[in-house]
Amino acid sequence: MSVETETAPEIARAKVNLWLNVVGRRDDGYHLLHSLVAFADLGDTLEIAPAEDLSLVIDGLGAAVLSADTDNLVLKAARLLAAESGVRAGAAFRLTKRIPMAAGLGGGSADAAAALRGLDRLWRLDAPPARLSALAARLGADVPMCLHQRPCIASGVGEKLDPAPPLPGCGMLLVNPGIPLSTPEVFAARRGDFSPVRPIDRPWTDLAGLVAALAIRGNDLTDAAAARLPVVGEMLSALRRTSGVRYAAMSGSGATCFALYDAVADAGRAARDLPASWWHYAGRLA
């Protein structure tokens, strides 16, 4: 097996659930979902260099409280790929965090997916996409969608992925209060009936069409998240008051919320009206 001497950094893009419906529950307790997943132009950066052993250094947002030990998903992904491929080489990782932790943006899953993509190149494995996806699924339900970083419809517990129609260009504002929110606790707090699966009946030709589709689906975990963390409701109210907003909702299980605008400049102007204590990012869907 040959090893690359240098690889370009991998960008681990933030996952945004533009809608999230809870449509059932399996006998083992896992909830069944139907979600439109997109990716932001915001992402962590994972640099990978050849090495004899596996190592990880973390800097950037929240680095002081992140573990670079063996339970980190980047190192778990590396060990899994090495074991399944018979690789004896190592890798030195440097992860620069820009995605908030426990924020409903899939940061850890995106990092694990970036490790699989980068090591496939570094170790010159040329693994078939289906094989990498299968390994990604063993690391977590969100890792396969983060592996490909393309808009998709996620169903099942998140492991079933179908291509989504192209998304219209628009600006997006992400907002997070800086307080982690536990996904299991949010699901446990959810009340009410399950939602029906609403298939996509036509492509979205513009932002108005996408917003109409989002508005009738929403995020079924919003009330549960706001009950656990009331600032979620405060963020949504603030976003819905911003000038030029076309739609605002929570992403995933929270606590990050997002708003869509006609242009990135509109999202940037809207960010100026938010409390300084909230993390925010104005950009676009990747």
List active site positions: 15, 142
Is the CA virtual torsion 216, 278, 145, 167 positive or negative? Answer: positive
- CA-angle at 56, arms to 50 and 62, nearest 5°: 145
Partnered with residue 209 across adjacent β-strands are none
Spatial separation of the C-alpha atoms in residues 3 and 123, rounded to whole Å:
5
Number of Cα atoms under 13 Å in the Cβ half of residue 103: 26
CB 86 within 8 A of CB 30: no
Answer whether the bond into residue 141 is a cis peptide, omega within 30°: no
